[in-house]
Amino acid sequence: MEPSVDRLELALQASNEGIWDWQIGAEEIFYSPKILAFLDWDPAQAPNFFADVETYIHRSDLSNFLRAYELAITKGDIFAVESRLRHQDGSWVWLRIRATVVRNHFNEAVRLVGSMIDISKRKSAEESLETERNLLRMVIDHVPLSVFFKDRESRFFLVNERLVNWLGAPSLDDVLGKTDADFFGGVHAKQAFKDELEIIRTGEAMVDRLEKETWEGRADTWAQTTKMPWRNHQGKVVGTFGISSNVTELVKTQQELRRRNEMIEEELQLAKEIQQALLPSALPSFPVNTEDRDQSLSFSHRYRPSTGMAGDFFELIPISETKIGMLVADVMGHGVRSALVVSMIRGLLEKEKQHAADPATFLSSLNDSLASILQRAGTTMFATVSYMVVDVEAQSMVISSAGHPLPVARYSDRTELLKLDPQSMGPAIGLFPGAPYGNTELGLSDLECILLYTDGIIECEDENGEAFETERLAQVVRNHSGATLDLMLDDAMQAVLNFAHTDHFDDDVCMLAVQFGTIKSPVNPFLATADAQLHKTKPLKMIPPQTEPLEGSSSDEDSDSGPRLIFPS
């Protein structure tokens, strides 16, 4: 083999190309072994694909093949095309086909001499890449987000249709190469440009930023935006890319909800203040006339709502010069619904006040009225109530309970829960119209104090789920014999918090205590005369309360210490 031919053969082997040669119009065509290997054609029976292009050229490539051939024969000197040729087994092989056109002295094409190389792997990779690009483009164009790529000068390089529409541009071409300043107002455009420069400088992403978009001649909008550094194949930051979602309606809804919440908070605060104001702020001097009386009563209470509005409350109801009613109630749950029921019950207390001297009748009337209201409203609510009437002249008290915890009583020789007759303990009010309630009458002999309370005290639990219970509350009352009511109530609340290892109550808390004392000094004649004159027109004298806030309280609103009335002796 001549050196030049040898070099050519070696070069073709290195390039993995094969040689072909065809005298235009001849039946036979020459293929080198490499081409025959590409197509697994038998050398003796190898077809002339030019003679039957529809059989050996893939139909999807046929038009391009014929166009390239026609162009080479009539006008050019090079035949170049990429086409699929039929393999011996019927499959298709991608080949890059090149040839030089040889012409005679009449400039007629008489011969094609060229090469072929198998490009199936490259074509497969290109098809896969094209498929990925198409799929990615489908996602970009149809995802319900605005998608963008920007260069280092923050000019749009690629965007989807959603962003084009959002920017109000006529077409994609009207967006590419432009910046935010061409569409947005100055405030947003400057901030976006600043953010993107920072991302390019640091290589750190900006994730889920809520952006206020300002426009020229258009209402402000809001977008939730994520921007990332755009890196090339070498890892160099060449710009930014990101997505944004229109959250204008969501932001407006949140703003409206915030405004409504503020209004609700204001209304709740007003309701809370009204509810607090309804607590007794001035209680009757009792007994009104201490002549021929040998006993005085002093009261104290603690009231702490778990939220702004409470379902617990208490009342002292003056009945006569020698009788006073004590009521503690706990409405189901807490919050606004409970507070509304509290307001209804307070109104019913005033309505049924003529029955206040008889606890059983009083609770029965309250129950029937409340149950009727709740039934008409189509709701289920109830309240537990403990109501007792103390008569210092008769040295007795009458008590009735509507599903409420029993009061704690401390005598000179013992502390215990008051023992009530079974008929005195009826169901909570508001549930069953016509429910029966009875009375239990007890004497005041050796009685030092009585504590009425709601279940927020005794049901407070420690970390093991154990409740404080009435036994521990009774122990606190027992240990404070001789102490003031204020000290006893403060210590009771602190004992519960210490037991639960917490600094707050999860339920409303209300306690009302009465202390029974003996009158030790004669009545001041001047006060007696003044009282006598007053009672000609008003049977009961109202005196301002003495308030002592619980240690650590910072405001009247949060204080759990209320009026402490010491009736004159």
CATH number of the domain residue 323 falls in: 3.60.40.10
Token pair belonging to 301? 């209470």
Shared domain check, 406 and 317: yes
Q: How many domains does the chain have?
A: 3
Q: Mark whether 351 and 217 lie in a shared domain.
A: no
Q: Is 428 helix (H, G, I), strand (E, B) or coil?
A: coil
3-state secondary structure of 330: strand
Quote the CA–CA distance of 374 and 381 in Å, as a whole number: 7
Q: Print the SS3 string covering 129-184.
A: HHHHHHHHHHHHHHCCCEEEEEECCCCEEEECHHHHHHHCCCCHHHCCCCCHHHCE
Domain boundary among 246, 269, 300: 246
Same domain, 78 and 158: no
Give the single-character DSSP code of 413. S
197 falls within a domain: yes
What is the structure's pLDDT at 217? 84
- Considering the domain architecture, whether residues 198 and 336 belong to the same structural domain is answered as no
Q: Are 424 and 439 in contact (CB under 8 A)?
A: yes
Per-residue tokens: 421: 């007759």
Closest CA to 222 of 212, 207, 230, 208: 212
Residue stretches of the chain with pLDDT short of 50 = 1, 520-569
The pTM assigned to this predicted structure is 0.52
Check residue 286 and give its pLDDT. 67
Burial of 63 (0-12, 13-18, 19+ CB in 10 A): exposed
For the chain, the straight-line distance linking the first and the last C-alpha, in angstroms and rounded, comes to: 141
Quote the pLDDT of residue 548: 39
pLDDT of residue 76: 84
Helix (H) or strand (E) holding 526: helix 525-534
Residue type, 568: P
CB 49 within 8 A of CB 36: no
Structural domain range at position 206: 143-246
**Cβ atoms 474, 416 nearer than 8 A:** yes
Can you tell me the distance from the alpha carbon of 315 to that of 321, in angstroms, rounded to the nearest whole number?
Answer: 17
Verify that 421 and 373 share a domain, yes or no. yes
Q: Are 240 and 200 in contact (CB under 8 A)?
A: yes
Please state, in angstroms and rounded to a whole number, the distance separating the CA atoms of residues 389 and 318: 9
What is the predicted pLDDT for the residue at 546?
36
Please tell me the distance from the alpha carbon of residue 115 to that of residue 129, in angstroms, as a whole number: 27
Q: Do 404 and 332 form a contact (C-beta atoms < 8 A)? A: no
User: HEC string of 68-128?
Assistant: HHHHHHHCCCEEEEEEEEECCCCCEEEEEEEEEEEECCCCCEEEEEEEEEECHHHHHHHHH
Residue 274 has what DSSP assignment? H
Cis bond upstream, residue 405 (ω within 30): no
Q: Are 309 and 345 found together in one domain?
A: yes
Interatomic CA distance for residues 451 and 399, integer angstroms: 13
In the block, residue with structure tokens 């970009």: 140
Asked if residue 186 and residue 296 are part of one domain, the reply reads no
Q: In this structure, are strands 546-547 and 563-566 parallel, antiparallel, or unpaired?
A: antiparallel
Q: Which amino acid is at 178?
A: K
265 part of a folded domain: no
CA 43 to chain centre: 77
DSSP state of 296: E
Closest C-alpha to 495, from 506, 507, 479: 479
Same domain? 466 vs 500: yes
Question: Does 261 fall in a domain?
Answer: no
Please state, as a whole number, how many other Cβ atoms lie within 10 Å of the Cβ of residue 39: 23
Amino acid at 385: V
Q: Which residue has the tokens 């009826």?
A: 426
Residue 252 lies in a domain: no
The answer to whether position 198 is within a domain reads yes
Residue 119 sits in the same domain as residue 147: no
Cβ–Cβ under 8 Å, residues 54 and 62: yes
Residue-wise pLDDT for 296-341, tens only, equals 888 999 988 877 667 888 999 999 988 999 999 999 877 778 888 8
DSSP annotation of 18: E
DSSP one-letter string for 397-453? EEEEEEBPPPPEEEESS-EEE----GGGEEPPBTSSTT-----EEEE-TTEEEEEEE
Q: Is residue 260 part of a domain?
A: no
Give, in degrees to the nearest 5, the angle at Cα 107 between 105 and 109.
Answer: 110
Rg (C-alpha) for the chain, rounded Å, is: 48
Q: Are 500 and 462 in contact (CB under 8 A)?
A: yes
Q: Which two tokens stand for residue 546?
A: 């003495």
Residue 163's φ and ψ, nearest 5 degrees, are: -70, -40
129 is a domain residue: no
Our measurement of the distance from residue 406's CA atom to the centroid of its chain's CA atoms, rounded to an integer in Å, reads 41
Residue 72 token pair: 């080479």
Q: Of the candidates 415, 352, 413, which has an alpha carbon nearest to the alpha carbon of residue 387? A: 352
Q: Are 449 and 484 in contact (CB under 8 A)?
A: no
499: its two tokens: 């037991």
> Token digits for 523?
């009545």
Q: Which residue has the tokens 């978009």?
A: 213
Q: Is the same domain home to 147 and 67?
A: no
Cα–Cα dist 112/236, whole Å: 48
Q: What are phi and psi of 209, to 5 degrees?
A: -85, 130
Is the same domain home to 173 and 310? Answer: no
Residue 118 is part of a domain; what is its CATH number? Answer: 3.30.450.20
Whether 87 is in a domain gets the answer yes
Q: Are residues 57 and 183 in the same domain?
A: no
Q: Measure the CA–CA gap between 448 and 413, rounded to whole angstroms.
A: 10
